[in-house]
Amino acid sequence: MTGRVGRTGKTARGGSQASAGDLLELVRSGRAVTRGALQQMTGLSRATVGHRLDRLFRAGWLREGAGGPVDSPLGGRPAVTLEFDGSHAVVLAADLDTRHARAAVLTLTGEILAEHSGTLIVEDGPEAVLAELGRWFARLLPEAGHRPEEVCGIGLGVPGPVDSETGRVIQPPMMTGWDGYDIRGRLSRAFTEHTGAPAVPVLVDNDANLMAYGEQRVGYPDCAAFVLVKVSTGIGAGVVVDGALYRGVDGGAGDIGHIRVGTDALCRCGSYGCLAAVASGGAVARRLAEAGVPAESGSDVRELLAAGDPQAAALAREAGRQVGDVLATVVTLLNPGVLMIAGDLAGTPFVTGVRELLYQRALPRSTAHLDVITARLGERAGVIGAGALVVEHLYAPERVEERLLALGV
């Protein structure tokens, strides 16, 4: 169930101004997948549609659909369907957590071809971490059966607030040494150094944003307002509205972990009483340790929850209630169709706690069509979202013309 739904997605320009990029957008979104439908939707002549599609075919971006011909909207013979060729290039994606990272090679339609996850300590600083990601990428490409020259872009998720214009993190509480660092430049250099391939665009975004983007696109493409809350070492949220990430003016939208909830617990950001200081995976681990249960991190709590530890379950439920109290405001403001809980604490006890407070505190009208659920893509949501973000950026109508010209078509 996805709650109340509405059509989402970007609009391509119709009318006689429709470019090759607009036609590609119509095909990719599934709104027009035959020449006749493209003519109808744009008002372009048969010859102009043919000419623009021809460029997309020559670039290798479009192909004839595997589904075979369908009835033509213009009548007459069944029409050949068109589809985006998701295998003409690959995307590299990585998702950094504070002590762990995942990297993947993906097709342009989001299929993971090869992946690696392992220990990578964000506190070691951007130089060491991004160089290591370059090495991971270089090893993964042959595993995926692709050459470095086939990579069209790189997407990276980081556990901190990101200025998406510059790709730099802004005063991140959990990323000492990364403030203002040129992440894009260094990751691009690491890629070229370790693969010998030319530089490609690098996009950086917040980890919860990318998880939200990945989960929404794969599981809830018609949900017009989607919120994902990641509860691991810290707490963060990603918001997808009408199919696009909502980042706010400064990239700070969704950074709910540092809302004061009025206790005296010291937070990693240096303030007291933040939500993350009392209800994150790290906070639950601390309380378990105080009670004599060995736990240091959110992932330790995850393991205890999986093993059915009653103390971990009780504390996770209490943490869920505290987060649910804050989410009542979030839900009232955004009226989402889906509220998804992800990260180390995402499980029945925590979600039960969220529901208890949420339905008590939020107005019935803002929860009437709300589904409160746990994440579906698991650990892969971040890399899937990062890959999708790169593809949406590179194949956006406004960027297609320039890229086609660069390819000589």
Q: Which residues bind Zn ion (CB under 5 A)?
A: 258, 267, 269, 271, 274
| Residue closer to Zn ion (CB basis): 274 or 375 | 274
122: DSSP letter: G
Nearest CA to 245 out of 290, 218, 275, 208 is that of 208
Determine which helix (DSSP H) or strand (DSSP E) holds 168, and give its type and residue range.
strand 168-169
Helix (H, G, I), strand (E, B), or coil: what is residue 186? Answer: helix
For residue 270, the minimal CB distance to Zn ion (Å) is: 7
CB of 260 to Zn ion, least distance (A): 8
* Residue 96 Cβ vs Zn ion, minimum distance, rounded to whole Å: 19
Of the two residues 144 and 169, which places its CB atom closer to Zn ion in the complex? 169
| Shorter beta-carbon distance to Zn ion: residue 258 or 321 | 258
**Given the complex with Zn ion, which of 18 and 267 has the nearer CB atom?**
267
Cα 267 from Cα 261, distance rounded (Å): 12
Half-sphere exposure of 7 (CA within 13 A, CB side): 5
Q: Which is nearer to Zn ion, 162 or 276 (CB)?
A: 276
CA distance 135 to 386: 19
Nearest approach, Cβ of residue 314 and Zn ion (Å) = 24
Q: Minimal distance in Å, beta carbon 257 to Zn ion?
A: 6
Taking the C-alpha atoms of residue 201 and residue 193, their distance in angstroms, rounded to an integer, is: 15
Q: How far is the CB of 276 from Zn ion (least distance, A)?
A: 5
Residue 8 or 297 with smaller CB distance to Zn ion: 297
Q: List alpha helices for 338-380, DSSP H.
A: 348-361, 364-367
Residue 85 or 255: the one with the smaller Cβ distance to Zn ion is: 255
**Cα–Cα distances in Å, from 188 out to 44, 45, 135, 153, 192?**
40, 42, 12, 9, 6
Answer whether 355's CB lies under 8 Å from 324's CB: yes
Task: Assign 74 to helix, strand or coil.
Answer: coil
Cα separation, 55 vs 73, in Å, equals 23
Return the number of the residue (23 or 237) whose C-beta is nearest Zn ion.
Answer: 237
Minimum distance of Zn ion from residue 283's CB (angstroms): 11
Please check whether residue 260 is in contact with residue 246, taking contact to mean a CB–CB distance below 8 angstroms.
Answer: no
The span from the CA of 149 to the CA of 114, in Å, is 17
DSSP H/E element including 187: helix 183-195
Min separation Cβ 269 and Zn ion, Å: 3
